[in-house]
Chains A and B, each alone.
Chain A
């Protein structure tokens, strides 16, 4: 991942006329104050009493730190984090005034940006993991005197297309996805994201909807079919991962895009014939038996395709069908491809340029190869890999802002929900000049939100980024640790986790569709979308007594069965004297898992969105059940295996990670980076519980940060690292106690007995709802909020709250806000 600095906020202040009195301070503005007159006195007043020359606290001496420069950047970063987060000065010391703290923080940011300019800048303030460094009270509470807010906007920018968006966009060219079926709303349909496959890979498959026969098992199938993986990179442990400032397209990615373009265009023209030999396309596999001889497993020639054309037929197909195409045919194909890849119609000079490229390539390579090569260039158009929001048209208002309009505004709305091109109504609004003001935006947003046939994978992506529930399948688990946790080791576990991701997303959709108290429902629902495997994952680890009871019960069952069979045999012999009795029927293997009390998965039939057939008979299946979880053992998504395993490690729970998630995503607290001097390792003591091993984090040097995480993660010790409920750990009653400390909302603070109590507390907190809104803001605006975004956040929160926890109303508020529709040039 490549992150580049965004200095738009500073630019904003440079580019507009001050609109405030001299005694009012606009947060975020560059402070032209020097170290000696401004920062040093601050340090003297608030820091050096403890961090002086003699026996400094934490071994950190600040009395002679001096101005920000290369040699002390690390310390100044730490000062920035501690002061901004209000960790320092400590609570029992004299505190700086709020305004003083804001100004000091702004000064440090400015100085670090200056010193680090040649090294890419000071990026932390733009990192979503640091977004909570901005005090929640400054956004939702009363502003301190002397602080002046200015009308907000976002910077002009280009967003690199996400890998999900890119692959879904390409998929539209070669695969026809089914229409939305209101009777089975969970099934994957046109406009839904291309989901990850059985192995968690994001891949686009060629022609798998036409394969009617193949040789060999699942692996042979997977090897024989043609597929391309996602090309554009992104980070794995994601959180909010789609800020426009994060990514670019490197030349390796560009080269792959052009190579995939060739495959896509050939498939658009020839369908499976671009992969297969003509004889492989038949509805009667028996008719080509003579050709399917020998061991073809894993070869493209092991596949049989039906004759039914399923791919979209486009002007590219039409063009390549012709022996002597005219310029008009070529232009039509160029225009079609341009809009398919950039989501907007080309300007004349753009279509002229690509038409010329097609002609030149045709001249060199002939019609087919030349056309394909020429058209492949469009895949690398700037607007096919980046979405521009440059606000080149439109008037600048008195604050230096420009309202997005036409294609840029329309595509911004489209991108808020969708990975495919704008639906016809939105497109018409764009081209007819009805996409130019806030009311236009409201009209389209409300329409799109009200139409279930327009799929909205970006909303699901938000929840994926927010909850991080999709990482379980990527966490390398120790097989023995899995077995002792009560679940099957090996690939079965990873596949169960990828299935769990799809199940969780369907549950989220169900809750979002109801649109009532969305966050609270997500946190407290007793519903689960489940596969058969989840009867174990949603189950409970047996105590030794229960395990023994299970073994005894099975013994009893087998004994009863054996007695019954013997009695039947005896009866048969009596009835058939002298005859040889029939061989006893083989009894099915019951595979009883004595380590787990499984739950019964029953309820309504549901479907989850899964990948196209990627693994032959072993592909993921969409069938699911909407079931209820065991009373008292689970409550909401955070107690589902998908989330729990996503926040675990190879051998055990990851209480720190879980606690950090709660602290950052629900409570809205910030955690500074781990100091490089810290050896962040728990002792390897298999005889001790995780809680006991975490004693090292309670040492005073560590506890300052860990108190914000550990007591929030440890209540989840009521589950093991595979997500199963447990009562015992190492044969002792598991300690599930925890505490909310200094949350910023005194009514939240205090002890909790377990994760259920913790979740119940948090789910009913206004602060937690506000923090949720802050995350939604970041996702849809593509940047961290600033203090100037406070009014936008408050409006969005009011919309959510006053409409019964409505995600829709919150989105309408956010997407019609200044932050979304205005850009700062």
Chain B
């Protein structure tokens, strides 16, 4: 059965057409415009695994406070934010069969693999349905080598709106800027934006004309096709209504966009766009795929000459390459937090209502059984999650239980996420959220 929410989220399952139907843009903007508070979630998925030694402070073997310990070097940029940090060790994901990457299984909590289509929706998509509506329920960005981002500007490996329905990541910041801010852009981006807008307007007109003669019993189905164009085209209207507001948040397009020296220029630009989509209230669910959920990726701009698969073969702990990558990630996390801190929301800031989930799409290492899947949470999500601490679990709760916890904190009353009772008997010693991490 169709309902408005389903239609909206059906539309959200693609590269660009993620705008809601007839939303009042001012109502659909998040807190800064309206004074309301809203929760938001960011998933940051680094590829090649997340070695617990790169995040657990030395000597910490059991749960406890982070107040009197120093964070390991790879995540040292988070030292000043450790009161907001929650390091979790001992979640498992064996059932996702991570080996190189669990792909959709990382956020879906089910078996994934290279070339294996998603067998269900992923947690980020499900959260985007639970969180308050925005103009764009869910935005995914993916960071990779410059060649991959240029030739394959959209790929789908991590997020899905359902079985066989992947959600694409944006990897070319020029395209993403055009989609988000084309209406307030200038120069070449503006031209392309206008040409595409004109084209889509004509497509809508043609589609509409061809729907006039349809019999009633098919017209309703066809009208969803036409409505899709109306929604996409209506986006510009809606964005233009808040253009004054968006202008305050839109990043400046500079040479990093048009003539990147390194892939990290585009990584930074994509992050800025992602942050701006959050701070401007365009979306409240952001998924970042560093390495795009695959086993390659490059970070030459931060002095990592090796790239791709070899990065996964080297040990991460005390390795200068992985220290650089993880520190780069951590600085990105700091950028997100600083940006959200700077926007007042309710009696505090946006960050007070936000949860950042940092982990890998492949548990703890490149070749792994998934028996341990370290995770870092930043922010308390309106007080739902404990912060400033380390939690050691017994390895008997699956990643699905973490996602259940987030869903619960977001307002959904679920006991399990993507795990039926039969699988749970084998892979989960308990049901419901991971209680140890909740306040």
Contacts and interface: CB of A to CB of B under 8 A. Distances in A.
Interface in A290-305: 294-301
A11 B207 CA distance: 25
Contacts of A259: 15-16, 154
B218 interface: yes
B132 interface: no
Interface in B387-439: 421-423, 425-426
A220 interface: yes
Interface in B210-267: 210-211, 213-218, 220-222, 224-225, 227-229, 231-232
A360 B222 contact: no
B143 to A, nearest CB: 14
A200 interface: yes
B330 interface: no
A201 B194 contact: no
B151 A357 contact: no
Given A158-B218, A201-B116, A251-B231, A223 B294 contact: yes
B14 interface: yes
Contacts of A368: none
A381 interface: yes
Interface string A1-19: 0101111100100000000
Contact of A251 (B1, B218, B232): B232
Contacts of A373: 195-196, 199
B197 to A, nearest CB: 10
Nearest to B95: A476
A478 interface: yes
Contacts of B191: 364-365
A155 B307 CA distance: 58
A385 interface: yes
Contact of B199 (A7, A229, A300, A361): A361
Contacts, number: 227
A295 B310 contact: yes
B16 A201 contact: no
B222 A386 contact: yes
Interface stretch (A144-152, A242-250, A771-779): A242-250
A376 B228 contact: no
Contact of B202 (A275, A296, A357, A370): A357
A295 B306 contact: yes
A390 interface: yes
B309 A255 contact: no
A219 B217 contact: no
Nearest to B195: A364
Given A156-B215, A295-B306, A256 B195 contact: no
A252 B14 contact: yes
A490 B225 CA distance: 40
Given A251-B14, A380-B207, A365 B195 contact: yes
B215 A825 contact: yes
B163 interface: yes
Interface in A482-535: 490-491, 494
Nearest to B153: A259
A474 interface: yes
Contacts of B7: 250
A614 interface: yes
B36 interface: no
Interface residues of A, number: 88
A364 B194 contact: yes
A251 B214 CA distance: 20
B156 interface: yes
A149 B18 CA distance: 49
Interface stretch (B69-77, B106-114, B335-343): B106-114
A736 interface: no
Interface stretch (B60-68, B164-172, B278-286, B355-363): B164-172
A299 B213 CA distance: 49
A735 to B, nearest CB: 23
A294 B307 CA distance: 9
Given A4-B221, A5-B217, A476-B111, A295 B308 contact: yes
A119 B147 contact: no
Nearest to A824: B215
Interface in B125-175: 145, 147-148, 151-152, 154, 156, 161-166, 168
A49 interface: no
Nearest to B165: A233
A392 interface: yes
A78 to B, nearest CB: 18
Interface string A253-279: 111101100000000000000010000
A113 to B, nearest CB: 12
A377 B147 contact: no
Chain B's interface size range is 35 or more
B165 to A, nearest CB: 5
Nearest to B103: A199
A385 B225 contact: yes
Contact of B13 (A157, A236, A250, A353): A250
Q: Which of B15, B196, B210, B218 has the most CB of A within 10 A?
A: B218
Contact of B16 (A197, A255, A614): A255
A155 B215 contact: yes
B295 interface: yes
B228 A251 contact: yes
Contacts of A625: none
B296 A298 contact: yes
Contacts of A381: 206-207, 210
B97 interface: yes
A374 B203 CA distance: 10
Contacts of B89: none
B164 A234 contact: yes
B346 to A, nearest CB: 32
B100 interface: yes
Contact of B227 (A251, A301, A360, A374): A251
Interface string B1-16: 1100001001111111
A119 B308 CA distance: 51
B221 A254 contact: no
A120 interface: yes
A250 B224 contact: yes
Given A250-B10, A494-B113, A255 B232 contact: yes
B116 A200 contact: yes
Given A251-B17, A380-B203, A299 B222 contact: no
A199 B225 contact: no
Interface in A203-235: 203, 216, 219-220, 222-223, 226, 229-230, 233-235
A198 interface: yes
A376 B114 CA distance: 30
A476 B115 contact: no
A251 B11 contact: yes
Contact of B198 (A244, A360, A681): A360
A252 B192 CA distance: 20
B404 to A, nearest CB: 19
Nearest to B423: A650
B182 to A, nearest CB: 13
Contact of B115 (A222, A253, A275): A222
Given A259-B15, A295-B306, A297-B309, A2 B221 contact: yes
Closest 8 CB pairs of A and B: A199-B115, A251-B228, A252-B14, A298-B296, A251-B17, A255-B17, A364-B195, A382-B210
9 contacts: A158-B214, A236-B163, A248-B225, A250-B224, A360-B198, A360-B202, A382-B210, A476-B110, A490-B97
Interface of A: 2, 4-8, 11, 119-120, 155-158, 197-201, 203, 216, 219-220, 222-223, 226, 229-230, 233-236, 244-245, 247-256, 258-259, 275, 294-301, 353, 357, 360-361, 364-365, 369-370, 373-374, 376-377, 380-383, 385-386, 390, 392, 474, 476, 478, 490-491, 494, 614-615, 649-651, 681, 684, 825
Interface of B: 1-2, 7, 10-18, 95, 97, 100, 110-111, 113-117, 119, 145, 147-148, 151-152, 154, 156, 161-166, 168, 191-192, 194-196, 198-200, 202-203, 206-207, 210-211, 213-218, 220-222, 224-225, 227-229, 231-232, 294-296, 306-310, 421-423, 425-426
